[in-house]
Structure 1
Amino acid sequence: MKSLYIIKAGSTFATEVERLGDFEEWVRRGLGDMPCPVAVVNAEAGEALPAPERCAGVVVTGSHAMVTDNLPWSVAIERWIGELIAVRAPFLGICYGHQLLGRAAGGEVGYHPQGREAGTVAIELTPEGQRDALFDGIPPRFAVHATHSQSVLRLPDGALRLACNSFEPNHAFRVGESAWGVQFHPEYTREIMAAYLQEGRAGSGASRKGSGVLGETPLAGRVLTNFASFVSRTL
């Protein structure tokens, strides 16, 4: 039987892992019950990526790395995403994974010209987003948790923009019929977002934009359950 693979592209702060868990745990919890096995591949640590034909679906997590650093493990994921697109394997990239999808499909990734977006922010679905399966049951405007310095600056040719806000024009997009990227974090809880805001305040003092506000995101998690439902329908 095929498996759904969570590709671990990094870890949260070492000081918070025991209290909050880590990226792959947050994603697994958000997906809910799955009718297929769920496996974690620690790509950042050099674990081998599965053959695309073995993938019922794939979620690539966020990372504290930067896509433009072109780290060997990151470039390997990016190339592999192209293979997943070719076989139409259901794919969801979150934050870093979203940016890797953007580059793998021919878009451009780099530092956001206005700095970092961090906090609980509102995003709006485009008309295409309102019709998209990933956002089923979600209203046109809803709150999400976000923290990123890099963005998909230019979408791949033919990609559909699905969500945006005044700071980030490419908060979500789709390539083909089954590959999605979301710049925000549907797997974050309020507590996780609070930890990232605290670490940001204690950081280097680099330019930080975005709201810096901490709030609830009661609808954002549906992105993960909707993706899980999509995977289930393709089995």
Structure 2
Amino acid sequence: MSTRILVVQPDTSVPVGALGDWLTEAGATLDVKLAGVDDMPADADGYDGLVCLGGGMSAFDDETHPYLADIRQLLSRTTAAGVATLGVCLGGQLLAAATGGVVRPGPEGPEAGPQLVSKKDAAWKDPLFADLPLMQDVLEFHRDVIDRLPAQATLLASTPLYPHQAFRVGRRAYGLQFHIETTRDIVDAWVARSPDVAAVAKPGAFDADTLDRMHADIDETWRPFARRFVDLAAGTLPPAEDPRRGLPLA
């Protein structure tokens, strides 16, 4: 039986991209819901996993995007229920906000372009992160940051500028500050839409050849990660050992 994954898309400009290909290749069936357009489930009943994608808005832009409160509530419920959950960039920030963390504009400004993030000690024993290399290729493109992790979160990856790059809440909920799902066309559109963010990247960071090399490296690293996420959702990969209890849910 196929593994059913609910994909929440907060912004039309941030589709599931390559991540969707990897998930379906690993045997998942995706149900993509565009926030503000499609009816959003109140919980993940009937699904094996949840993926929340990124967006150009902030995690608490409720006045302009009232559906964000519903997404945070959904992430809170899936985390509490032990559903396999993955938040990417804004999705990771929403997961942090939904479980007691703090999200705010990055005090050192935006982070943009191809980047390496480094595994933390806890990542070597994590079911999704253990097999990743010490340094992982990712794409950064964000203004806001996770300033403080939820109290019961486990830090899994960092950069020198902003340390909270990847984390786990409980045993099956994961947040990424960076992007792994992009294609060259998606990135080109972001650069055109947000030149202020793109301007902080290194010279040539968004050249076609650079993006092609970056996406090839990301594919090599993160395609197996996506397969492990499907296995986690399907129940064939054991979740992380986490003896801590009393997870605060907002």
Common fold: TM-score over 0.5? yes
Q: Give CA deviations for 1:132-168 in whole Å, capped at 9, x if unaligned.
A: 2222432111211110001111000010010010112
Q: Could you tell me how far apart the structure 1 residues matched to 2:186 and 2:44 are?
A: 31
Q: Could you tell me how far apart the structure 1 residues matched to 2:197 and 2:142 are?
A: 13
Cα deviation for residue 35 of structure 1 reads 4.0
1:119 partnered with 2:113: yes
Task: For residue 114 of structure 1, give the secondary structure of its aligned residue in structure 2.
Answer: coil
Which of 119, 123, 129 is the equivalent residue of 1:129?
Answer: 123
For structure 1, which runs of at least 5 residues remain unmatched after alignment? Answer: 13-21
Cα deviation for residue 226 of structure 1 reads 2.4
1:66 partnered with 2:68: no
Cα deviation for residue 206 of structure 1 reads 7.0
Kindly report which structure 2 residues correspond to 1:1-235, keeping only aligned pairs within 5 A, or say none. 3-12=4-13, 23-49=15-41, 51-70=43-62, 71-201=65-195, 205=196, 209-211=200-202, 213-214=205-206, 215=210, 216-217=214-215, 218=217, 219-234=221-236
Task: For residue 51 of structure 1, give the secondary structure of its aligned residue in structure 2.
Answer: coil
Give the 3 Å change call, closer, same or farther, for CA 53–200 of structure 1 in structure 2. Answer: closer
Task: For residue 23 of structure 1, give the secondary structure of its aligned residue in structure 2.
Answer: coil
Instruction: Give the structure 1 partner of residue 243 of structure 2.
Output: none
Cα deviation for residue 123 of structure 1 reads 0.6
Using the aligned pairs only, state the percent identity.
26
Cα deviation for residue 62 of structure 1 reads 0.6
Q: Could you tell me how far apart the structure 1 residues matched to 2:169 and 2:201 are?
A: 27
Q: Could you tell me how far apart the structure 2 residues matched to 1:226 and 1:151 are?
A: 26
Give the 3 Å change call, closer, same or farther, for CA 227–116 of structure 1 in structure 2. Answer: same
Q: Could you tell me how far apart the structure 2 residues matched to 1:187 and 1:36 are?
A: 16
Indicate if the aligned counterparts of 1:97 and 1:181 stay in contact, CA closer than 8 A: yes
Indicate if the aligned counterparts of 1:130 and 1:140 stay in contact, CA closer than 8 A: no
> RMSD over aligned Cα, in angstroms?
2.4
For structure 2, which runs of at least 5 residues remain unmatched after alignment? Answer: 238-250
Cα deviation for residue 88 of structure 1 reads 0.4
Q: Could you tell me how far apart the structure 1 residues matched to 2:154 and 2:95 are?
A: 13
Indicate if the aligned counterparts of 1:43 and 1:49 stay in contact, CA closer than 8 A: no
Q: Could you tell me how far apart the structure 1 residues matched to 2:173 and 2:41 are?
A: 17
Indicate if the aligned counterparts of 2:112 and 2:142 stay in contact, CA closer than 8 A: yes
Indicate if the aligned counterparts of 2:5 and 2:28 stay in contact, CA closer than 8 A: yes
Instruction: Give the structure 2 partner of residue 17 of structure 1.
Output: none
Cα deviation for residue 221 of structure 1 reads 3.9
Indicate if the aligned counterparts of 1:119 and 1:147 stay in contact, CA closer than 8 A: yes
Q: Could you tell me how far apart the structure 1 residues matched to 2:99 and 2:79 are?
A: 8
Moved more, 37-46 or 59-68: 37-46
Q: Could you tell me how far apart the structure 1 residues matched to 2:53 and 2:191 are?
A: 19
Indicate if the aligned counterparts of 1:159 and 1:173 stay in contact, CA closer than 8 A: yes
Q: Could you tell me how far apart the structure 1 residues matched to 2:20 and 2:42 are?
A: 18
Work out the number of aligned pairs and report it: 223
Q: Which amino acid aligns with 1:48?
A: M
Task: For residue 31 of structure 1, give the secondary structure of its aligned residue in structure 2.
Answer: helix
TM (norm. structure 2) is 0.80
Q: Which amino acid aligns with 2:141?
A: T
Instruction: Give the structure 1 partner of residue 245 of structure 2.
Output: none
Indicate if the aligned counterparts of 1:159 and 1:174 stay in contact, CA closer than 8 A: yes
Q: Which amino acid aligns with 2:11?
A: G
Cα deviation for residue 36 of structure 1 reads 4.9
Cα deviation for residue 24 of structure 1 reads 3.0
